[in-house]
Structure 1
Amino acid sequence: MSALNRLSGSTVLLAFCMATGALAGVMAQPLGHAAYLVGKLYLVVVNMAAMPLLVVAIFFGLRQVLDMPRPGRRIALTAALAVALVGACAVSGTLLGAAVMPGKHLSPQEHAQLGELVWSEGNALSENSVSLMESPDAGAAMGDGASRRESVMRGLLPDNFFRVLAQGNTLGILVATLLFGLAFASLSRERTALLDGIFESSYRALGIIIDRANLLIPVLAFGASAYLTSSAQAATLGAMGGFLLCFMLSAIVLSIAAMAVISARAGLPFLSVLAEMKGPLLVGLASGSATAPVPHAIEVMSARLGFSRGVAELALPFGAVFLRGGAALYFALVTLFVANLYGRPLGGAELVLVAAGSMAAAFVSAGHGGAANVAFAGLTLGLLELPVEAAGVLFVAIDLLCDGLRTVLSLLCVCVVVAWVSDGLSSERAAGRDGTAGRAPLQLAFSGMQLMLMGSCMVLAGLLIVLLGIGLGAR
């Protein structure tokens, strides 16, 4: 099984699956669609196991963090770093977009292609779609400001924990778990010993399920590549190539910067940290799921890089939902692309508004993933009175290419928070290695008198057994 795990996490194999998937999308579309369906089933299994695992991890993480020195300061530092990192990603995207100006230098043919796509898809959505029962998430994302605020408040403060569980509302589940976890952490360990054992067993079992499901990552990479090449139009990808290049390069640069910070805090070479982090990063890149790489990331950050396990178990589940640095970068570049596409010049004050709006949209979109992120770009576009339909049509077509890098950047931002907040705590890696190295074979040493006494006891015990057998036989 370990060989299969190494094979499924191989960078070469994933690249090969993506390349062959692209060919299958052009030459054998049914095969590509079948593989994409299997990949979607993988995401269903992983998300099914990841959510309860994250809930249990938050319970354990809260207890360990509250037992640390100055827990209030560490929790406040975690929140402040999360806001700062999301803001830094939003500002980076705004500055880069203002300098590169994606969407500004399109050829007339590319401009006409995008305009035709927006016009045709927009008319199809407005004329041919009839919704008898509107989805609450869709109405909140695309509706008026009051409905958005109501949806956000309902997600932050759920009035019924079982309802958010049934609906799969990630944001509401984690907020409710935080409240229950605080009450759980306030109890003594003697009173929660039985529950601790149940949680520990559940944690291990769910981790095994995710490890086994991750064997299907190459199938997901093959199917996603085939689906993209079979469904996307080459002209659309060419017209959006400037945006894709700008987003991918900026996400990679920011990810490298985050890895450098983690390497410095861990006191390890950059390549060593990259080798340890390869597993969760590949899971996030191939799946695009915010929760799928979290269990593996907790193990890597604590057992292999030496950061506090309590901080990792508390920050990584919450950060996967709330700390969306990749989404902030994406929203900023989307806004500037649409502004350049429609010839809207932006001044300094409007660029500040773009950065602030992208940061706010990243937090408001907490709990949503995939193409649902595109709808929340309307929050920033609405501030500049830009058409929201352009984002809804153009960026859904290429979202599959951006989803993995968004997830990777967001995950690394959370890992930076874990590395920074763990400052001053004992190294989990050092403790683990010392514990392994310090194990010695069990040795029993007896003196001569002790051996004689033990031998006499064994002889007497044997005689008693013989006499007992004789007595039972005589009866």
Structure 2
Amino acid sequence: MHQHRFLLPGILGGIVSGILLGGFLPEAGQGVSFVGDLFIRVLTMLVVPLIIAAMITGISRLGDVRRLGPLGTRTLLYYLSTTAIAVTIGIVLVLIIEPGTSGGILQPGTTEPGNGLTEQHHAAGTIEEKIRSEDRTITDLLKEVISGMVPTNLFRAMANNDILPVIAFSLLLGGVLTTLGTQGKPVLDFFSGLNEALMKIIHLVMLTSPVGIGALVAGRLGEAGGFSGFLPELLNLAGYAATVIAGLMLHSLVVLPLLLKLFGRISPLRFAAGTTPALLTAFSTASSSASLPVTIECAEENNGVSPKTAGFVLPMGATINMDGTALYEAVAVIFIAQMNGIALGGAELGIVFLTATLAAIGAAGIPEAGLVTMVLVLKAVNLPLEGISLILAIDWFLDRCRTTVNVWGDSVGARIIDKLTPDSN
């Protein structure tokens, strides 16, 4: 991870440069915005192959899915459950707080010329009217979401960046491959190698992120006409960051300690004290994978987790358990919709819930990996990718916060599963 040593200073430098350029020279900011657009295009290009490779590789780490046993089954159920809880917290908070509808941003129905949102506002009204006119029940919404996971043509779905069916197919293929023994091994090795190659590409892309993020920020400020036009969006950004942090705190300081107390049978304060080195490492590196050795050591040496459980649960958690990332993505997607005056109905919120939960499984444990899966979730509900340009200004900090929550969730899970699986000791 040494190549990411200067990533944070670089991103901060890019953000400051973008703010200065777009704030004082709006036309110049708009002129360099194409560099930021190129950065987003590269991330978009990686989404579909990353989903397929990461999902299949993640499933393969479970071994033969028919023989998961108590340890594997409980680990999987814990990770899916806590991630789903985190996403629910994020969705509820962002819908209650509505950070994207304050600070003077144009509301749905506004058609002021030159704001670039007229078509999106019209789309918002269309979505809202459709949902109201159909008067669909929860069952109807569930049927719609589930039906959307089974495409008539998988390659067409991939070409259209239709994410849900790609995720469903990847999980199915990965599960089946684990049951084929020697016949499935070459295919799993291929996807494992593809996953490693894509991770390397993402590492290289993230090395260019200071320039890409700086250009996006400069372009956004330039389009707003400089500092004066950007002030309302800045107020919204503060509300967005506060919403994400509130959600992360609620999940990490209330939900996870409660689960730890009930099922892990240990004082949350004592457990947190033993996990502190791993949490500090996670915050400083913004990487679950880089924190893994420290996380395992803290679990075994400080918190009494058996080596068998720690060796199985924590590496898997660093790969597929991303509570903080899932919560952040749910908040960010709905925030972007609010900023653009797009009303998300029950079906769309259901898709956000599913894709944010499943995208967390495919989020690599590297800095800013949530940015890649963010594109995935936005695509799933047809929201404008340009909205990412605003949240990138604060994402460098939120990335560290959500990674810390990811590692905390992994550690809590290791203790709980260790206590619930007596034969793991």
TM-score exceeds 0.5: yes
Instruction: List aligned pairs for 1:245-260, cutoff 5 A.
Output: 245-255=238-248
| SS of alignment partner, residue 118 of structure 1 | coil
Tell me the alpha carbon deviations over residues 397-421 of structure 1, each in whole angstroms, 9 at most, x when there is no partner.
8663236768847777665654444
Find the counterpart in structure 2 of residue 362 from structure 1.
352
Q: Which amino acid aligns with 1:119?
A: T
SS in 2 for 1:144: helix
- Unaligned runs of 5+ residues in structure 2 are 258-267, 297-312, 360-372, 419-425
CA positional deviation for 1:20:
1.0
Distance 1:240 1:158 in 2: 38
Q: 1:192 to 1:357 in 2, by over 3 A?
A: closer
The answer as to whether partners of 1:21 and 1:222 remain within 8 angstroms in 2 is yes
Distance 1:276 1:333, change over 3 A: closer
Question: Residues 332 and 358 of structure 1 are in contact (CA less than 8 Å); yes or no, is this contact kept in structure 2?
Answer: no
Q: What amino acid is the match of 1:276?
A: A
Q: Is residue 39–residue 209 contact of structure 2 (8 Å, CA) maintained in 1?
A: yes
Is the contact made by 2:55 and 2:167 (CA closer than 8 Å) also made in structure 1?
Answer: yes
- For 1:13, the aligned partner's letter is G
Give the gaps of 5 or more residues in structure 1. Answer: 282-295, 339-353, 378-391, 427-475
Name the counterpart of 1:400.
389
One-letter code aligned to 2:391 = C
State the percentage of identical aligned residues: 14
- Cα distance in 2 for partners of 1:21, 1:259 equals 33
Q: Contact conserved, 2:292 with 2:314, CA < 8 A, in 1?
A: yes
Q: What residue in structure 1 maps to residue 160 of structure 2?
A: 167
Equivalent residue, structure 2, for 1:470 = none
Q: 1:180 aligns with which of 165, 173, 177?
A: 173
Q: CA deviation at 1:266?
A: 7.6
Q: CA-to-partner distance for each residue in 1:189-238, whole Å, 9 max, x for gaps? A: x4434334434433333322222222111112211111111112455543
Shift of 1:87: 2.5
Q: Cα RMSD between the aligned structures?
A: 5.2
Instruction: Decide whether aligned partners of structure 1 residues 91 and 362 sit closer, same or farther in structure 2, where only a CA change above 3 A counts.
Output: same
Classify 1:405/1:304 alpha carbon distance in 2 versus 1 (closer, same or farther; 3 Å).
Answer: farther
Tell whether the 8 Å contact from 2:94 to 2:243 is kept in structure 1 after alignment.
yes
Deviation at 1:18, TM superposition (A): 0.9
CA separation in 1, counterparts of 2:317 and 2:192?
A: 17
What letter matches 2:15 in structure 1? M
Match in the other structure for 2:222: 230
| 1:60 alignment counterpart | 60
Question: 1-side partners of 2:107 and 2:126: how far apart?
Answer: 27
Q: What do the CA deviations read for 1:361-406 (whole angstroms, capped 9, x no partner)?
A: 63266578469859969xxxxxxxxxxxxxx9xx998663236768
Match of 2:330 among 324, 327, 350: 327
Counterpart for residue 18 of structure 1: 15
User: Which residue is 1:422 aligned to?
Assistant: 414
Amino acid across the alignment from 2:21: A
Aligned AA for 1:177? Answer: S
Q: Any idea what the Cα deviations from partners look like across 1:230-269, whole Å, max 9, x if unmatched? A: 1124555434554332222232344456677699768655
Matched, 1:75 2:76: yes
Q: Paired residues, what number?
A: 356
In 2, distance between residues paired with 1:335 and 1:46?
A: 26
User: Residue type of the partner of 1:23?
Assistant: L
- Are residues 266 and 43 of structure 1, via their aligned partners in 2, closer, same or farther at CA, if it must alter by over 3 Å? farther
* Residue 310 of structure 1: how far off its partner (Å): 3.0
Distance 1:251 1:362, change over 3 A: same
Is 2:337 the counterpart of 1:309? Answer: no
